[in-house]
């Protein structure tokens, strides 16, 4: 499993010009799932994301997590994170899990984040979405479960 984490001042996802998820301060997550991923990967990443200390404390040091700041999460499924661009000009997405495997794992990841007390908004799995955010810092990290 792979998650791109962006610390944000706000983020929003729309489908057909309708807002389906919106947060203020927190984390914008792009979540990719590959064939070998299991619930263990989802748990590892949910724990990592919830505890990731990338918000500044009173001294200006990145020392606080999204949990500690009362921030929210916007989680969007993103199979293109497993696009392989090494050959040719068109990405190969063979490493991305099929929807019937990926969607339940994506939902489990979000459930695990909520279980930790986080507000989690989501995109619409498998839909064409428009995502916007104000990246704060900017701070962008990529975390893999393997």
β-strand pairing of 72-77 with 18-23: unpaired
Q: What is the pLDDT of residue 133?
A: 98
- Res. 19 pLDDT band, cuts 50 70 90: very high
- CB under 8 Å to 95, separation ≥6 — which residues? 34, 35, 82, 84
Residues tagged active-site: 78-80
Res 98: pLDDT: 96
Question: What is the reported pTM?
Answer: 0.95
For the segment 22-43, what is each residue's pLDDT rounded down to a tens digit? 999 999 999 999 999 999 999 9
pLDDT tens per residue, range 69-111: 999 999 999 999 999 999 999 999 999 999 999 999 999 999 9
Per-residue model confidence (pLDDT) at position 145:
96
For residue range 116-125, what is the model confidence (pLDDT) as tens digits? 999 999 999 9
21 pLDDT band (50/70/90 cuts)?
very high
pLDDT at 70: 97
- What's the mean pLDDT in 54-82? 97
Nearest to 76 by CA among 11, 20, 125: 125
Given a contact cutoff of 8 angstroms between Cβ atoms, the answer to whether 66 and 27 are in contact is yes
Rounded Cα distance between 111 and 130, Å, is 23
CA distances from 9 to 73, 116, 146 (A): 11, 21, 29
Q: List CB contacts of 119: < 8 A, sequence separation 6 or more.
A: 23, 26, 72, 73
- What pLDDT does residue 122 have? 97
Helices 99-115/39-51 angle, 10° precision: 40
């Amino acid at each position: 499993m792979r998650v791109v984490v962006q610390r944000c001042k706000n983020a929003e996802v729309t489908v057909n010009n309708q807002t389906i998820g919106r947060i203020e301060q927190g984390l914008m997550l792009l979540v990719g799932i590959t064939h070998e991923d299991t619930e263990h990967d989802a748990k590892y990443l949910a724990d990592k994301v919830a505890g990731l200390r990338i918000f500044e404390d009173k001294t200006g040091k990145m020392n606080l997590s999204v949990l500690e700041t009362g921030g929210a999460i916007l989680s969007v499924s993103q199979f293109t994170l497993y696009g392989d661009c090494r050959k040719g000009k068109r990405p190969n997405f063979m490493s991305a899990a099929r929807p019937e495997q990926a969607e339940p794992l994506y939902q489990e990841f979000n459930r695990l984040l909520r279980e930790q007390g986080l507000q989690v908004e989501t995109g619409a799995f498998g839909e064409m979405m428009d995502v916007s955010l104000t990246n704060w810092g900017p701070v962008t990290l990529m975390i893999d479960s393997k």
